[in-house]
Amino acid sequence: MRPIQASISLSALAHNLAVARSHAPHSKIMAVVKANAYGHGLLNAIRGLKAADGFAILGLDEALAIRNAGYLQTILMLEGVFSSDELTHVSEHAISIVVHCDAQIKMLEQIKLAKPISVHLKINTGMNRLGFKPIDFELAMARLLACGKVADLTLMTHFATADEASGIAGPFDVFNKTTQGHQYPSSLANSATLLRFPAAHGQWVRAGIMLYGTSPMASQSAASFNLKPVMQLTSQIIAVQSLEAGESLGYGLAFTATKKTRVGIVACGYADGYPRHAPNGTPVAVAGKLTQTLGRVSMDMLYVDISNIPEAEMGAHVELWGSQVSVDEVAQAAGTISYELLCAVAPRVSMKVED
């Protein structure tokens, strides 16, 4: 069996959930577990996040998987239903839905349901992705309340720049003005808002990337928020090569040695989810020591500099990201974000769940 493995720490998930709760002690925590729990495995993550007040997903299949596993918390479909026939299952299994467009209101108006549904009405405060524009909010809310299919209503939005210097002041003001006079619960805060803007916590906060131990802000490390990495992606060296000065390495000969260089060949490539565009110098740990990648990432292998790690031989332990090398560092080196790397871990990588 190839030695590459993703280890998932349930205790780290529980710890990060506690961190989220400490930042928003007066709010309920909606743990965002969409995209297969950001690549960590949906039901794996749920086990570590079982103390959450609710779970946010995208599709009905995910919602039913959680409910059928015995979890009784609120389950929210973040994009709502995609067809009217899903509403019957939503009603039957007490699943909450986002309503973000006129077509979804029409589905509710035209269907007969055994039980009414909990609805999160989404307002577009400037991201221009999903949601009703402020001018359309009152009519949308009135139609939902009049259709007889809504058990309770929560008002929500999503901030586009909560993780950036510009913050949320503008869209938060739009939300407050749009909903003024209405006393419904609110759900506004993603991870960045949860950590930076307590005034926007509302009754629900939607903790996402922070639960998996990475920072939602490029300017601040996960460790600065006392977050623990949940996934450790590891492998082993499967061969060792020695380069003389002037010799090159890998596809495109993208690395050329300027001095004698000892190279470890690692069983991990872009088909495992490691970013092909990671450049020379991307951080990695070998035998517990920090070093860097060399050359171009292949489909099944990559190269690491072990010139200063003489004990590193075939079988040596390699951490691609985890406790020594944060996934945020790898993402920054590769010009992307940790979300993409975590979600991209391939099904062929074996996953081990640790308490």
Q: Torsion-angle region of residue 151: left (phi > 0), alpha (psi -120 to 50) or beta?
A: alpha
Active site positions, annotated: 34, 251
Three-class SS of residue 108? Answer: helix
Give the angle subtended at the CA of 55 by the CAs of 51 and 56, to the nearest 5°.
155
The phi-psi region of residue 310 (left if phi > 0; otherwise alpha if psi is between -120 and 50; otherwise beta) is alpha
143 known ligand binder = no
> Taking Cα atoms as reference points, which of 115, 139, 136, 110 lies closest to residue 125?
136
Distance between first and last Cα of the chain: 23
DSSP designation for 352: E
The reply to whether 301 sits in an annotated binding site is: no
**What stretch of H or E contains 173?**
helix 169-178
Contacts 24+ apart (CB under 8 A), 50-56: 51/14, 51/17, 52/17, 52/207, 53/28, 53/29, 53/204, 54/28, 54/29, 54/30, 54/96, 54/204, 55/30, 55/31, 56/30, 56/31, 56/32, 56/206, 56/208
Reported in sequence order, the residue ranges of the chain that DSSP labels E, i.e. its strands, are 5-9, 28-32, 54-57, 74-77, 96-99, 117-122, 150-156, 186-189, 204-207, 231-243, 248-249, 255-256, 261-266, 283-286, 289-294, 302-305, 317-321, 350-354
Q: Give the residue ranges of the annotated binding site for substrate.
A: 129, 299
Q: Which residues are annotated as a binding site?
A: 129, 299
